[in-house]
Amino acid sequence: MAVVRAKHDRSEPVREAIRLSATKLFEENGFEATGIRDIAREAAVNPAIVLRHFGSKENLFLETMDSSSAMRSIIEGPLEGLGARVVGLIVPGRQKGLEILGATVRASSKPDIRRRLHESIAASLIEPLIDRIDAPDGELRAHLFAAQLLGLMTAFAVYDDEYLLEAPLDGIIALYGDSLQALVTGN
């Protein structure tokens, strides 16, 4: 009785298995250290069909490693207390978005990946803030907020500042979250 739209989705399970393996391996080992043949083996599939379905390794990375939703969710909620809240979201568990961000930054030699990184930050972090900041220089403030936030993310995800990783959260909030907050609501 009417299989729902089996139009040309015959390969969808394979594609999904590949996406799953790619996500796992890219997150664990990054773009460069993850080979097409590794992904194929993990998905129990022939290396060539990874490329038949996704075109290129770079494109597969773009389809699986997307940090924009994580970024957007980070700045959700009221502007009051945003500084402390984002710091709290970033610091403790090294949430998933951080791994993706780190992998994306390290893969940004590839122009398309660099473009994606730029777009994610602009569309999911900066632009949503611009509309909400009610202060002179709102646009500048949004850009600087993003820069400062990414500074902390970078400390965790690209050079690993183990001191910051083990530092008490309230200290970081008091010193870093407050100046983030000052950017977003006037001084």
- Site residues (vs DNA, CB under 7 A): 6, 8, 10-11, 14, 34-37, 45-49, 51-53, 56-58
Which residues have a Cβ under 8 Å from the Cβ of 129 and sit 6 or more positions away? Answer: 75, 141, 142, 145, 146, 184
- The amino acid occupying position 54 is F
CB 173 within 8 A of CB 86: no
Nearer to its own copies, 48 or 167 (CB): 167
Applying CB under 8 A, which residues contact its own copies?
30-33, 105-109, 114, 117-118, 121, 137, 139-141, 143-144, 146-152, 154-155, 158-161, 163-164, 167, 171-172, 175-176, 179, 182-183
**From its own copies, DNA, none, interface partner of 105 (C-beta below 5 to 8 A by class):** its own copies
CB 65 within 8 A of CB 42: no
Nearer to DNA, 94 or 110 (CB): 110
Least distance in angstroms from the C-beta of 25 to its own copies: 13
What secondary structure letter does DSSP report for 105?
Answer: H
Least distance in angstroms from the C-beta of 85 to its own copies: 17
Nearer to DNA, 45 or 158 (CB): 45
Least distance in angstroms from the C-beta of 13 to its own copies: 31
Nearest partner of 98 among 20, 158, 161, 181, judged by Cα: 158
CB 99 within 8 A of CB 157: yes
State the sign of the Cα–Cα–Cα–Cα dihedral 154, 120, 30, 76.
positive
